Structure 1
Amino acid sequence: MTRTALVTGVVGGIGAAIARQLVDAGYDVRVTDMPGTALDDAAGALGLPAYPADLGHRDSVAEMVAALPARPDILVNAAGGVRGQTGRPLVEVSEEDWRAIFAANVDSAFFLAQSCAPAMAERGWGRIVTISSGAGLRPSLTGIQAYTSAKHALVGLTKQLSLEFGPQGVTVNSVAPGFVRSNPATERQWDAMGADGQRALLSRIHTRRLGRPEDIAQAVGFLCSDAAEWISGQILSVDGGVT
């Protein structure tokens, strides 16, 4: 029986690379992201069926999951990001901006787990992988207070879900990428560092190179496999040795 997978956030480079990795591994993959032409284009490039949803809202997630042919065996939460924000002094951050980043990074993972994890538990097998960040383990290079807070919260949610669903054969892990130039936001961050900042960042990476979306996707593929069946509640840093 072919296992099914749902990958979120495929408009970004990391999410798209994860979807390709899981297809290559033989899974039946569906993808989701915000409704619009960006999702249509990404799904078309991948050759995969798309199920649009605003993942920061419980009802939208529930409707999207209900539209799938079946509840997925594998859920990869690659949606998130900085929502177009940049680092600002604390007093300048609005409530709306704070909540937007939590909705994208934490609420989405929580609502998706609510919709998908119980069916995995009933079947006695499942994989949930969240994409956190080095910002979930230490202060963020972005300087965005909400982003590092949300990624820390996502790490906590990952560990809690592992405790809850591990007895039913569902593993829950997170991949914490280092700096990967995978979307317009990370390109802006890279450019804003300037030549000196870029050199300084590379000097802290043991392998002396930035990450690629494929580096993250390969780690996710392993955590979704049968080879990782006794790995749960873990945060795997994929960052070239920074951590």
Structure 2
Amino acid sequence: MRLTFADKTVLVTGAAQGIGRAIAEAFKAAGATLVLTDIDAEGLAATADAIGAEAIAADIGDRARAHAMVEAVHARFGGPDIVVHAAGGTRGQAGRPLTEIDEASWRAIFAANVDAAFWIAQAAAPHMRAAGAGRFVAIASGAGLRPSLTGIQAYAAAKHALVGLVKQLSWELAPDGITVNAVAPGFVRSNPTTERQWEAMGPDGQASLLKSIHTHRLGTAEDIAAAVLFFASEQAGWISGQILSVDGGRS
């Protein structure tokens, strides 16, 4: 199966590095008109320059900024036909005891992982409805289906909330031809945060994790991108409201 997106405008959030960047590279190779966004303006510009994509830096955890960014995409390129929400993550946080979590730490993770997904979907949906079709793919996590290996309470809670949001958005949008799905990656060494987590496991923890994965290897950002492109394709037109674990069989 060869997937092509030559006639599609694709918006990828969280594209400055890691999984988001790999998704952007895969869509670019498949011929998409590609627009990238991220809160990290410097990293975003580097990615966009490297792969030949347009870039709009924005904090999409803010409703007004998320809507303005989507409207800018629509005005310049049309669409978006496909939105991939890869923004989120742990926002540089590490696991801490329950009693030490402050409000700002809690809200920062929810803003990036859940609020941003909702605002982007809210802004893009009218354009997709007008076109009679669309794709929204979110990057969830194994932490949205079970306790998180990071030990970060807000991250596990936010990813569980994102899974619920995907299912609810599917119920609302799929009748208009807009499918909504999520990919839930296993542990992928794709950015400085996951590298620190990997090192913190130590040799014994690393060996234990690999043993728990059916394929006995870690995944790559490219593994996740491949699943995203399938969900975004015409061939996946009757798949909606699904959460696909891409984790080597660990789940």
TM over 0.5: yes
Q: Secondary structure at the match of 1:72?
A: coil
Number of equivalenced pairs: 243
Whole-Å Cα distance in 1 between the matches of residues 177 and 159 of structure 2? Answer: 25
Per-residue CA shift, 1:83-125, capped at 9, x if unaligned? 0100000000000000000000000000000100121112111
SS of 2:241's partner is coil
User: Where in structure 1 are there 5+ consecutive unaligned residues?
Assistant: none
TM-score w.r.t. the length of structure 2 is 0.95
Aligned to 2:210: 202
Separation in structure 1 between the aligned mates of residue 216 and residue 204 of structure 2, nearest angstrom: 15
Task: Please give the alpha-carbon distance, in whole angstroms, between the structure 1 residues aligned to 2:237 and 2:29.
Answer: 20
Instruction: Report the Cα distance in structure 2 between the residues aligned to 1:10 and 1:95, rounded to whole angstroms.
Output: 27
The C-alpha deviation readout for 1:25-81, integer Å capped at 9, x for no partner, is 222111000152121112111211101110110011111112111230000000000
Give yes or no for contact 1:16–1:46 (8 Å, CA) kept in 2.
no
- Which residue, 118, 121, 125 being the options, matches 2:126? 118
The RMSD of aligned alpha carbons is 0.9
Q: Give the TM-score taking structure 1 as reference length.
A: 0.98
Which sits farther off after the overlay, 57-66 or 89-98? Answer: 57-66
Alignment partner of 1:42 is 2:47 = yes
Residue in 1 that maps onto 2:3: none
Determine helix, strand or coil for the equivalent of 2:58: coil
Counterpart of 2:136 in structure 1 is 128
Q: Classify the secondary structure of the residue corresponding to 1:118.
A: helix
Moved over 3 A (4+): none
Q: Is the 8 A contact 2:143 2:160 kept in 1?
A: yes
User: Which deviations, in whole Å up to 9, do the C-alpha atoms of 1:193-241 show, x marking residues without a partner?
Assistant: 0000000000000000001000000000000001100000000000000
Q: Which of residues 8, 15, 30 is equivalent to 2:13?
A: 8
Q: Distance in 2 between matches of 1:73 and 1:173?
A: 15
Counterpart for residue 215 of structure 1: 223
Unmatched segments (≥5 aa) in structure 2: 1-5
Write the letter of the residue equivalent to 1:99. Answer: R
Which segment drifts farther, 152-161 or 21-30? 21-30
